[in-house]
Chain A
Amino acid sequence: MLELQRNVIFGQFVETGSFIHRMDARVKIVATFVFIVASFLVDDFLGFAVVVPLLVLIGVVSKIPLGYVLRGSRFFIAFLVFILAIQVLFYPADVPESSYLWRWGILSVSTVGLYTAGIIALRVILLYYVTTMLMLTTSLVDLTNGLELIFGPLQRLKVPVNELVLVFVIAIKFVPIFIEEMERLARAQTARGFPFDEGGALRRARRIGRLLVPIFISGFARADTLTIAMNTRSYRGGRYRTKLRQMRAKPSDWLVLALVTLWVLVAWMV
């Protein structure tokens, strides 16, 4: 049966109590940001080769099983492969003749195209991996508080920080909820003679369309309920709220951030 939660882990939080889980959320967010910047700066395979051991280290320290992350990224990987295939096949024609490996009309495979696609793939994977790791190791409450604290100073410039963070966090939080909802819908529709677990990949994919309308309807209903719930509890932006648990970055957190920054700098330099 459709157990979608296995294949999409985006937005999930998995508590393992590891060192990374216990780190200050703000430090983790900043470190993620450093990685994001790095993914744009690093532009050769050697640079990425330098970053990989750090990513492996993060994976090991977080105690989140690699198999779980990989299986949960199946749709992402399939999508990435599709994009890359397009990127390679339709690579702009201004490449030296010697670079072509295969050519047919406007379609071609060239070493230059492959190289560019490879770099893009590594960038996207790096982006995906660090953001996924951030979400897997940081509870939503910490993520919200961390983001609010980091962007808090912008409040003075009349940027609605709390509202923006809230929208961002709700968007992430709704992904696993929708996935669970889709599972339930698929199960109920299967019971009524509309199977999701039979037939080839294409037929299965086409059936997903049957879920879209009910999922949209329930999405709107959920948003509505959430609004009412927030209003009845007199929710106002975080500006007016005080926090029971103050965030405090430990020296070890700063050390990790320094390590990440240095490591990434080295990757950029080489």
Chain B
Amino acid sequence: MRSDGRLPILELKSFSYTYLEGTPKASEAVRDVSFRIHRGERVGIVGATESGKSTVVDSFAHLLRLEPGQVFYRGEDVAAPGYDKGRLRREVGILFQQPDSQIIEDVVGADVAFGPTAAGLSAAETRERVEESLNTLGLPYPDYRLRYIHALSGGQRRRVAIAGVLAMHTPVLVLDEPMAGLDPRGRKELLELLLKLQRERELTLIVCSASLTDASLLCDRFIVLERGTVVMDGPTREVLREADRLAELDITLPEPVVGAREMQKLFPDFPAELLTEDELETELLERLGAE
């Protein structure tokens, strides 16, 4: 997936950010964060609370008071004077941690239509996008179109928020804790949906989380943040190999990795970087057979 000769779709160069800089309430969120993300990559950004994940997410769509020379989209400095921020936001779709904060309209259909309408699509195209997005998320268009959002459950509201972002058909999709508040079936469905969409639309997918549980199946590369700096950056298995370090950083490990770490007490050479329970089983059987 990675080739360093190509232009990265997103790049942070020594990105540092302090909220309310110059006031007594100033708080530093990230310091000297650098990485490149290429088109079609599936990247997880993980870290405990206060690690700076959300600040990094906000920087992608220029939602902060950015200084020039730090955040680049397709090689262009997004904080340069005269940069078209509107276009950037039509290309980088963000799902926020609290879905309620990004819901604008009262009715499901109108809310999902908000992004496409703001992007200047015709009524017919907008309708098509709304229908498609709602159906994809398991909220049948005819049933949900006219429902009031505040009367929906938390999980359904999250789906509406996701549908609202999907309807914008952005080439980059950034999801901040997309699995929070979903039941196990909902998580599985969303996971499969995201993988399918990513393949079909060649999306650049960025997932933020304090847990590797679902993200490890979704992403092929992880960037690990701690207190506003990058401490690890590599392919999923390589990062999972450092399971001890991840646990130290308060990042929830996927269940197969947790199991593998238990096994390491019996078999010191047992690999930690396992993604699925099947892999765990294979490794275990291999060793038990060998005994």
- Decide: B114 and A191 in contact? CB cutoff 8 A: no
**Interface hits, B89-135 → A, CB 8 Å:** 89-90, 93-94, 96, 98, 100-104, 106, 114-115, 118-119
Known: A5-B20, A198-B86. A192 touches B115 (CB 8 A): yes
Known: A185-B101, A193-B118, A193-B168. A3 touches B24 (CB 8 A): no
Contact of A1 with B by CB under 8 A: yes
Chain A contact residues, majority secondary structure: helix
Select which of A1, A185, A195 is within 8 A of B65 by beta carbon: A1
- Decide: A3 and B20 in contact? CB cutoff 8 A: yes
Instruction: Place the interface of chain B in its size category.
Output: 20 to 34
- Decide: B114 and A217 in contact? CB cutoff 8 A: no
**Interface hits, B50-73 → A, CB 8 Å:** 58, 61-65
Contact residues in A for B19 (Cβ distance below 8 Å): 3
Contact of A187 with B by CB under 8 A: yes
- Decide: A194 and B118 in contact? CB cutoff 8 A: yes
Contact of B254 with A by CB under 8 A: no
Contact residues in A for B90 (Cβ distance below 8 Å): 193
Output the least CB separation between B165 and chain A (Å): 8
Contact of A36 with B by CB under 8 A: no
Contact of B2 with A by CB under 8 A: no
Contact of B150 with A by CB under 8 A: yes
- Decide: B164 and A192 in contact? CB cutoff 8 A: yes
Contact residues in B for A181 (Cβ distance below 8 Å): 101
User: Count the A-B residue pairs with Cβ separation under 8 angstroms: how many?
Assistant: 81
Contact of A163 with B by CB under 8 A: no
Contact residues in B for A5 (Cβ distance below 8 Å): 20, 25
A213 and B101 CA atoms in complex are apart in Å by 12
- Decide: A192 and B63 in contact? CB cutoff 8 A: no
**Interface hits, B129-177 → A, CB 8 Å:** 150, 164-165, 168
Known: A1-B63, A5-B20, A64-B24. A193 touches B115 (CB 8 A): yes
Chain A CB count within 10 A is highest, among B25, B62, B118, for: B25
A-side interface residues, number (CB < 8 Å) = 31
Contact of A16 with B by CB under 8 A: yes
A218 and B94 CA atoms in complex are apart in Å by 21
Select which of A64, A189, A197, A218 is within 8 A of B102 by beta carbon: A189
Contact residues in A for B287 (Cβ distance below 8 Å): none
Contact residues in B for A68 (Cβ distance below 8 Å): 23-24
Select which of A67, A71, A191, A213 is within 8 A of B89 by beta carbon: A191
- Decide: A192 and B104 in contact? CB cutoff 8 A: yes
Chain A CB count within 10 A is highest, among B101, B114, B168, for: B101
- Decide: B102 and A191 in contact? CB cutoff 8 A: yes
Contact residues in A for B20 (Cβ distance below 8 Å): 3, 5-6
A210 and B103 CA atoms in complex are apart in Å by 11
Smallest Cβ-Cβ distance to B119: which chain A residue = A193
Smallest Cβ-Cβ distance to B60: which chain A residue = A191
Contact of B85 with A by CB under 8 A: yes
A5 and B114 CA atoms in complex are apart in Å by 27
Output the least CB separation between B109 and chain A (Å): 15
A134 and B5 CA atoms in complex are apart in Å by 59
- Decide: B114 and A193 in contact? CB cutoff 8 A: yes
Contact residues in B for A6 (Cβ distance below 8 Å): 20, 23
Contact residues in A for B94 (Cβ distance below 8 Å): 188, 191
Contact residues in A for B118 (Cβ distance below 8 Å): 192-194
Contact residues in A for B22 (Cβ distance below 8 Å): 67
Contact residues in A for B85 (Cβ distance below 8 Å): 195, 197-198
Known: A14-B24, A184-B98, A197-B85. A191 touches B104 (CB 8 A): no
A2 and B235 CA atoms in complex are apart in Å by 36
- Decide: A190 and B114 in contact? CB cutoff 8 A: no
Question: A residues bordering B, Cβ < 8 Å?
Answer: 1, 3, 5-6, 12, 14, 16, 64-65, 67-68, 71, 181, 184-185, 187-195, 197-198, 210, 213-214, 217-218
- 18 A-B pairs whose Cβ atoms sit less than 8 Å apart in the complex: A1-B62, A3-B20, A5-B20, A6-B20, A6-B23, A14-B24, A68-B24, A181-B101, A184-B96, A184-B101, A187-B96, A188-B101, A191-B63, A192-B89, A192-B102, A192-B104, A192-B165, A192-B168
Given A16-B24, A191-B96: 12 more A-B contacts, CB < 8 Å: A14-B24, A68-B23, A187-B96, A190-B61, A191-B61, A191-B89, A192-B104, A192-B114, A192-B118, A192-B164, A193-B89, A218-B100
Q: Which 3 A-B pairs have the closest CB atoms?
A: A193-B118, A188-B102, A188-B101
